[in-house]
């Protein structure tokens, strides 16, 4: 756990600014159980946020900034990637409500916050709001699904494995003209027999 907490009774209608820094070890502990390759963090994760009370609700808005090393999904080279992502979260008092999922029940009990499915709304309960899980989700959503070292990366040859950014190969590109071309080719093979 960390100190990514906000005291509810210190909030009012005038937005209060917070800056939280999450280290590589914090992120590494969160990624520990994942199936993927661990993300190398260059600069840590910086969360700048403004938090205010609007009647009984708590409104958070902010930005994530970090630099990580990722592997290009086309050429498999590792490259530096800047994460910059805005986020917002509206929390209303939980009152007597309880989440229906076990993870939500645990989050509300341990962190004083339950995050909705869209991560833009949720509930809070108690004097403190712990933002560890929310920050973890913000980072996960900011990571590209298919990291690219550049938009123009040609990738590697699917036949010989040559890095097409460094060299051209002599392999013939066997592109099919339509998804049904394979069926036509199979039909031609069966008619010959």
Q: What is the pLDDT of residues 141-192, one digit of tens each?
A: 999 999 999 999 999 888 788 888 888 888 876 665 677 776 776 776 666 6
> pTM for the whole thing?
0.78
- With a cut of 50, say whether residue 1 has pLDDT above it: no
pLDDT confidence of residue 159: 79
What pLDDT is stored for residue 37 in this prediction? 62
Distances (CA, A) of 30 to 41, 83, 105, 172: 13, 17, 19, 44
Q: Which among 30, 27, 19, 140 is positioned nearest to 85, based on CA atoms?
A: 140
Please determine, for residue 7, whether its predicted confidence score (pLDDT) is greater than 70.
yes
The CA distance from 90 to 109, in Å, is: 18
Instruction: With beta carbons less than 8 A apart as the criterion, state whether 87 and 63 touch.
Output: yes
93 pLDDT more than 80: yes
pLDDT for the residue numbered 169: 83
DSSP lists the bridge partners of residue 78 as 71
Continuous segment of H or E residues that includes residue 136? helix 132-142
* pLDDT reading at 96 higher than 90: no
* Residues of the chain above pLDDT 90, percent: 52
């Amino acid at each position: 756990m960390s100190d990514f907490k906000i005291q509810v009774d210190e909030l009012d209608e005038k937005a209060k600014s917070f800056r939280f820094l999450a280290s590589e070890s914090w992120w590494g502990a969160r990624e520990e159980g994942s199936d993927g390759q661990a993300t190398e963090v260059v600069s840590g994760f910086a969360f700048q946020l403004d938090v205010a009370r609007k009647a009984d609700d708590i409104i958070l808005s902010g930005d994530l900034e970090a630099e990580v090393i990722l592997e290009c999904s086309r050429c498999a080279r590792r490259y530096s990637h800047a994460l910059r992502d805005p986020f917002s979260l509206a929390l209303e008092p939980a009152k007597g409500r309880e989440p229906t999922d076990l993870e939500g029940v645990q989050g509300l009990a341990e962190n004083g916050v339950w995050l909705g499915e869209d991560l833009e709304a949720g509930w809070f309960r108690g004097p403190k709001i712990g933002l560890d899980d929310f920050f973890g989700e913000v980072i996960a959503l900011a990571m590209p699904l298919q990291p690219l070292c550049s938009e123009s990366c040609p990738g590697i040859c699917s036949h010989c494995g040559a890095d097409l950014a460094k060299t051209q190969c002599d392999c013939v590109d066997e592109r099919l003209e339509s998804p049904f071309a394979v069926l036509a080719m199979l039909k031609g093979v069966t008619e010959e027999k």
